[in-house]
């Protein structure tokens, strides 16, 4: 007998059984989407929102998996090499925080470009966090960062030493399912711990156990934040890093290229160094930063197997 029908998130194995205020709202928002554009998933994944029927004995029955807003998956060639199995590692991730440091280590903006493109392709919103704002650093860091705020990305400058920007960062995690990524040593674990003490260990974000090189087949897990929202673990980071962008889709993943697309002389222009390329023209006219275009070329050439 059905007692009530309510939406709760499917939990990772070790996620404490707990509900947060945002969950019902999020599920509602997702439910309202046109399911023809986003077919219902058939297999449950971590991060899924489901409809359950509460049973009398305090258990429940999953009746429906709600449409996913985003999906990080892994493609495995099964034992039959012709059959590729897609396994969703994490559903409904909606935000990626990309962490860099002002110094020690110096920021690697080429890596940022790659991750921004991945997030655009995966339809995840992004937040750039530049940590170690307390350290003396090259003034070019501010100039380079301005490139990103000019094209619409939000940047939060933080320091775990001075407790700077931490409240702002914590606030922006509220009611989102977020993944932290960035090079090692930039302060990801320190930031996550400043936001939620003890969380860095749970999510595998502590520097010496990011699992790099370790072969692991388990899916990602989500951990609840006390302010509402969830944090994805390092398995989610690996899934994101492995994201593939088709070469012909890459240009649209550079947000400031978009207004110029479709205007090149050749309709199949790859925007590398072609005659009559509208992207290269925009670079020449200083409408597009040349460093961003160089990142595009580098990623394109790497992606084109």
Burial pattern 202-216, b for ≥16 Cβ within 10 A else e, equals bbbbbeeebeeeeee
Which one, 115 or 300, has the nearer CB to Zn ion?
300
Q: Find the length of the chain.
A: 305
**Of these, 135, 146, 201, 287, which contacts ligand GDP (CB under 6 A)?**
135
Binding partner selected for residue 178 from Zn ion, ligand GDP, none, CB under the kind-specific 5 to 8 Å limit: none
Tokens of 89: 């590692």
105 touches ligand GDP (CB under 6 A)? no
Cβ 297 to Zn ion, closest distance in Å? 11
Buried b (16+ CB within 10 A) or exposed e, 219-229: bbbbbbbeeeb
Which residues contribute to the site for Zn ion (CB under 5 A)?
264, 269, 271, 277, 279
Residue showing the smallest CB distance to ligand GDP in the complex: 187
Q: Which long-range contacts (CB under 8 A, 24 or more apart) does 134-141 make?
A: 134/159, 134/161, 134/162, 134/164, 135/101, 135/102, 135/103, 135/104, 136/103, 137/102, 137/103, 138/103, 138/106, 141/102, 141/103, 141/106, 141/107
Candidates 23, 88, 159, 203; binder of ligand GDP (CB under 6 A) is 159
Largest Cα–Cα distance of the chain, in whole Å?
Answer: 70
Q: Is 187 in the site for ligand GDP (CB under 6 A)?
A: yes
Q: Under the criterion CB under 6 A, does residue 178 sit at the interface with ligand GDP?
A: no
184 binds, among ligand GDP, Zn ion, none (CB under 5 to 8 A by kind): ligand GDP
Residues 133 and 163: beta-carbon distance below 8 Å: no
Rg (CA), the chain: 21
Nearer to ligand GDP, 189 or 220 (CB): 189
Binding of ligand GDP at residue 207 (CB under 6 A)? yes
What's the CA gap between 15 and 256, in Å, rounded? 39
Comparison of 88 and 131: residue with beta carbon closer to ligand GDP? 131
Q: Please, what is the end-to-end C-alpha distance for the chain in angstroms?
A: 55
- Region binding ligand GDP by CB under 6 A among candidate stretches 39-47, 126-134, 254-262, 282-290: 126-134
Instruction: Please state the closest distance from residue 134 (CB atom) to ligand GDP, in A.
Output: 5
Nearer to ligand GDP by Cβ, of 10 and 205: the residue is 205
Q: Does 132 bind ligand GDP (CB under 6 A)?
A: yes
Residue 163 touching ligand GDP (CB under 6 A): no
Question: Which residues form the interface with ligand GDP (CB under 6 A)?
Answer: 131-132, 134-135, 159-161, 184-190, 205, 207
């Amino acid at each position: 007998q059905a007692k009530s029908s309510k939406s709760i998130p499917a939990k990772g194995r070790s996620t404490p059984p707990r509900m947060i205020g945002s969950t019902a709202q999020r599920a509602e928002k997702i439910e309202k989407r046109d399911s023809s554009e986003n077919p219902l998933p058939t297999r449950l994944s971590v991060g899924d929102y489901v409809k359950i029927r509460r049973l009398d004995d305090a258990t429940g029955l999953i009746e429906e998996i709600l449409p996913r807003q985003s999906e990080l998956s892994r493609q495995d060639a099964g034992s039959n090499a012709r059959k590729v199995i897609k396994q969703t590692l994490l559903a409904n991730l909606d935000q990626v925080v990309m962490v860099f440091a002002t110094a020690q280590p110096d920021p690697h903006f080429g890596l940022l470009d790659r991750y921004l493109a991945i997030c655009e392709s995966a339809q995840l919103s992004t937040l750039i966090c530049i940590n170690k704002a307390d350290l003396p650093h090259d003034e070019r860091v501010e100039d380079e960062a301005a490139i990103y705020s000019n094209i619409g990305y939000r940047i939060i400058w933080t320091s775990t030493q001075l407790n700077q920007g931490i409240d702002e960062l914590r606030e922006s995690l509220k009611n989102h399912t977020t993944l932290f990524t960035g090079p090692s040593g930039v302060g990801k674990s320190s930031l996550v711990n400043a936001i939620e003490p003890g969380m860095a260990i749970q999510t595998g974000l502590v520097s010496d156990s990011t699992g790099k090189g370790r072969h692991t087949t388990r899916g990602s897990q989500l951990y609840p934040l006390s302010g509402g929202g969830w944090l994805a673990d390092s398995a989610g980071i690996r899934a994101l890093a492995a994201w593939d962008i088709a070469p012909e889709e890459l240009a649209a993943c550079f947000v400031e290229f978009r207004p110029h697309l479709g205007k090149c002389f050749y309709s199949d222009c790859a925007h590398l160094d072609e005659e009559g390329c509208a992207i290269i023209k925009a670079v020449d006219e200083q409408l597009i930063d040349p460093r961003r275009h160089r990142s595009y070329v580098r990623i394109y050439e790497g992606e084109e197997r």
